[in-house]
Amino acid sequence: LTEEQEEDESVLSAIERQTENSRKGGTIWEAVRKADEAALKRLLSENPSNADARGPVGECPIHMLFLYGTETHLNMARYLIINFPYTITQIYNK
């Protein structure tokens, strides 16, 4: 494989892992994907470090909430920002 092909495969597998993470039950990623505000609040109450969770491509819950962009997702993002204000400045990183 060329270096470019290896990089493409690496990105693909990271994106596949991102999708797998969003399907794992009882996680912040599932709550975000399903726009389950009650689950998000419960998970953050049980473990505030969930606000800092990182996915395989460096994303945080706040990033995914804005990417989904539905009214419910944006309400969840507001909740996250009000209760965890530092999340507004989180950047993608691995």
Report the share of the chain in percent with pLDDT over 90.
Answer: 61
Q: What is the pLDDT of residue 15?
A: 61
Contact 4, 11 (CB under 8 A): no
Closest CA to 65 of 33, 18, 90, 94: 33
0.95 surpassed by pTM: no
Q: What's the mean pLDDT in 71-80?
A: 98
Report how far residue 23's alpha carbon sits from residue 56's, in angstroms, rounded to the nearest whole number.
14
Work out the mean pLDDT of the chain and round it to a whole number.
86
Helix (H, G, I), strand (E, B), or coil: what is residue 20? Answer: helix
Residue 28: band (very low, low, confident or very high) from pLDDT cuts 50, 70, 90: very high
